[in-house]
Amino acid sequence: MNPSKRTTLCLALLALLLIELLVCFQYRGPAEVSERNADAFAAAGVPTFSAEKAMKIHQQLFDGTTHPAGSAQNDAVRNRLVHLLQEHGWQVEIQSAQVAGRQGNSPLHLHNVIAGRPEQAGLSLQPLVLATHYDSCRFGPGAGDAGGCVAAVVEAGRLLTQHSEQLKRPVWLFFTDGEEAGLLGAIEFVRSHPVSQQRPLVLNFDARGTSGPVVMYETHAGNSVAVDEWVNTIARPRITGSLFTAIYRSMPNGTDFSVFQKAGWQGFNFAIIDGAHRYHQPDDTFANLDHRSVQHFGEHALRLSTLIAGSTQDLAATKEDAVFFDVLGLFVVHYPVWWCVPIRFALLIVAVQVYGRHVLRRACLRQSLLVWLTMLLIATAAPVVGWILSACIRGTMILPRPFVWYGHGFSVVMWCLSLLMALSIGHWMLRRIDQRIVWDAFWLGQAMTCMVVSIWAPEFSHLLSVPGGMAIFLTLTVRSIPLRTLLGTAGAGIILIPVQHLVSIALGPAAGLLLFPAFALIAMPMLPALGKRNSVT
């Protein structure tokens, strides 16, 4: 490989590394607000959530023991929760039911906790529900799942109702029981409680770990209006994406939100996903619960509930979904899902005009086919190599469980290996092809691929369409292929790396079958740098 190629690749990899560092910085979650600072803001008329206050609530409610549904420990947690809510001025109802346990176990006694305000009796708009669960699994004390959520909802509810005269719709705090036993409390609530018959707006909070920023990862079907009105008001960093909703809907597991949306409720589902090695484990403890995560939970709950509860308009019903994604946690881009195919079709027409005149000529067609074959080889090899790697380490001392405390280090190794694999295949296949042909053929092939993705999986289409649009702009404005490659790789990295960052956290190193293709995707824009450079380029 000549020095010019090495320089381009090194600069491109450096750009990706800097973007990853920026993502790590942006996705830390907000800094904890102290109780003293929150009180100072409150004195100035600005209700401010404080994780320090919420953590004190956490200590009031939970004593560090496991408290599964039906246990005496869970009864004690519920009694403390009811007492605290009443101190805050809430009218508390206990919805009790006896339901069948899992796999023929003895019946389980459930006790949902529902809190409303006496002054909202005359409000008739669509209710707002802040929901989470207060039971733990049998193997861990549940400080994160979902003790941190309970504390955040209690404190956010207290702040929201300090000026109850500003509320335009009923607000309910809902703490389900038996979530860990199969979403049983939520099922019972939507089956029999009068509030559910009003099809409330819901903000649901849960955890699959003990740290990291909060991700808004799921919405109801027909989310276009909610996304348009709410998504850019969630707390920063605004971490979300329609592709997470699409992935989650295909998975067998669920949260209480799964029950709510099936009952026709509209809303958003929030969770932390980092620290998953502590999920349902004995070390899901108060000491391991990240204060930044609780701060982020509370800011989401307070900001969105203030907006929704202060609105006099119910959320319009629609069957239309939206495509949405955040840009480095700063803001969220969103548009109706039906835009995907027209946008992608327009970009495909432009791509054919910009690239096709060159790479579809008889003299270049053979080389173009080699470029497309290279793309296919990388796309085929990535999941195979990823699956083999995960299969070799899964269940060994290296990876005894799907999630381990050093999982982030594993993800970095897998990221490096996937890039090395993709670039090695690219160098082997493309080293004798002119860089301009590689550039044009690659982005034309990418445009055609994105057209298929836009039809079959529109929630994912922006991962290809945005880099594709940037490549067309660079083609028209930048003559140097190495510079185009560097800028195109960096631009794609801004869209792809945040997704890869979250997906690697969510899936863990045991999921090489999925992670390697996701990681290899970022190597694709670097392929033109592997071609043969001549005086024209």
Please write down the HEC assignment for all residues of 427-445: HHHHCCCEHHHHHHHHHHH
Q: Are 185 and 247 in contact (CB under 8 A)?
A: no
Whether 537 maps to a domain, the answer reads no
Same domain as 42, residue 16: no
- How many structural domains comprise the chain? 2
Q: Domain range for residue 460? A: 3-24+339-530
**Overall pTM surpassing 0.75 (yes/no):** yes
Same domain as 361, residue 321: no
Whether 333 maps to a domain, the answer reads no
Secondary structure tally for the chain: helices H, strands E: 19, 9
Same domain as 283, residue 140: yes
Mean pLDDT, the chain, as a whole number? 93
Per-residue CA distances from 336 to 109, 164, 459 (Å):
44, 35, 10
Same domain as 42, residue 14: no
**In a 3-state reduction of DSSP, which class is residue 152?**
helix
| Backbone torsions φ then ψ of 463, nearest 5 degrees | -65, -25
Q: Is the pLDDT of residue 443 over 70?
A: yes
- Pull the structure tokens for residue 62: 């939970």
pLDDT attached to residue 100: 79
Q: pLDDT tens, 253-287?
A: 789 999 999 999 999 999 999 999 999 999 999 99
Supply angle C-alpha 317, 320, 323, rounded to 5.
125
Stretch 295-312: mean pLDDT, rounded? Answer: 96
Stretch 353-364: mean pLDDT, rounded? Answer: 90
Q: Is the pLDDT of residue 536 over 50?
A: no
Same domain as 278, residue 314: yes
pLDDT attached to residue 104: 59
Per-residue CA distances from 190 to 260, 263, 512 (Å):
7, 7, 38
- E strands, 37-121, are 91-99, 108-116
Whether 420 maps to a domain, the answer reads yes
Which of 58, 61, 53, 117 minimizes the C-alpha distance to 89? 117
Same domain as 305, residue 232: yes
Same domain as 133, residue 107: yes
Same domain as 174, residue 212: yes
C-alpha dihedral, 216 to 217 to 219 to 224, nearest 10° = 80
Helix axis angle, 435-456 to 462-477, nearest 10°: 150
Same domain as 93, residue 10: no
Q: How far is CA 425 from the centre of its chain?
A: 31
- E strands, 337-401, are none
| Backbone torsions φ then ψ of 310, nearest 5 degrees | -90, 0
Whether 535 maps to a domain, the answer reads no
pLDDT attached to residue 103: 57
CATH code, domain carrying 178: 3.40.630.10
Q: pLDDT tens, 195-208?
A: 999 999 999 999 99
Give the end of a domain, one of 328, 354, 388.
328
Q: Is the pLDDT of residue 114 over 50?
A: yes
Q: Is the pLDDT of residue 537 over 60?
A: no
Q: pLDDT tens, 187-236?
A: 999 999 999 999 999 999 999 999 999 999 999 999 999 999 999 999 99
Q: pLDDT tens, 61-112?
A: 999 999 999 999 999 999 999 999 999 999 999 999 998 766 556 789 999 9
Instruction: Give the separation between CA 314 and CA 304, rounded to whole angstroms.
Output: 14
Q: Is the pLDDT of residue 137 over 50?
A: yes
Q: Is the dihedral of CA 187, 191, 193, 197 positive or negative?
A: positive
User: In terms of C-beta density within 10 A (0-12 exposed, 13-18 middle, 19 or more buried), how is residue 192 classed?
Assistant: exposed
pLDDT attached to residue 1: 64
Q: pLDDT tens, 379-394?
A: 999 999 999 999 999 9
User: In terms of C-beta density within 10 A (0-12 exposed, 13-18 middle, 19 or more buried), how is residue 400 classed?
Assistant: exposed
To the nearest 5 percent, what fractions of the chain are helix, strand and coil? 60, 15, 30
Which of 393, 373, 480 minimizes the C-alpha distance to 436? 480
pLDDT attached to residue 242: 93
User: In which band, very low, low, confident or very high, does the pLDDT at 247 lie, cut at 50, 70 and 90?
Assistant: confident
Which of 1, 11, 6 minimizes the C-alpha distance to 484? 11
Give the end of a domain, one of 328, 359, 379.
328
Stretch 514-518: mean pLDDT, rounded? Answer: 94
Q: What is the 3-state secondary structure (H, E, C) of 12-41?
A: HHHHHHHHHHHHHHHCCCCCCCCHHHHHHH
Q: pLDDT tens, 463-514?
A: 999 999 999 999 999 999 999 999 999 999 999 999 999 999 999 999 999 9
Per-residue CA distances from 425 to 34, 380, 500 (Å):
53, 11, 21
Per the rule left: phi > 0, alpha: psi between -120 and 50, beta: everything else, 280 is left
pLDDT attached to residue 363: 86
Instruction: Give the separation between CA 505 and CA 208, rounded to whole angstroms.
Output: 11
Q: Are 317 and 246 in contact (CB under 8 A)?
A: no
User: In which band, very low, low, confident or very high, does the pLDDT at 122 lie, cut at 50, 70 and 90?
Assistant: confident
pLDDT attached to residue 447: 95
Instruction: Give the sheet arrangement for strand 108-116, strand by strand.
Output: 91-99, 108-116, 171-176, 128-133, 201-207, 266-274, 211-219
104-113 as b/e: b if 16+ CB within 10 A: eeeebebbbb
Percent of the chain scored above 70 by pLDDT? 98
Same domain as 438, residue 408: yes
Q: Is the pLDDT of residue 185 over 80?
A: yes
User: In which band, very low, low, confident or very high, does the pLDDT at 163 lie, cut at 50, 70 and 90?
Assistant: confident
Same domain as 127, residue 221: yes
Give the end of a domain, one of 273, 305, 328.
328
pLDDT attached to residue 179: 96
Same domain as 349, residue 301: no
Whether 536 maps to a domain, the answer reads no
Instruction: Give the separation between CA 71 and CA 386, rounded to whole angstroms.
Output: 43
- E strands, 224-302, are 266-274
Helix (H) or strand (E) holding 352: none
pLDDT attached to residue 535: 46
- Pull the structure tokens for residue 409: 């280090």
pLDDT attached to residue 31: 95
Q: Are 345 and 451 in contact (CB under 8 A)?
A: yes
- Residue matched to tokens 């960093």: 237
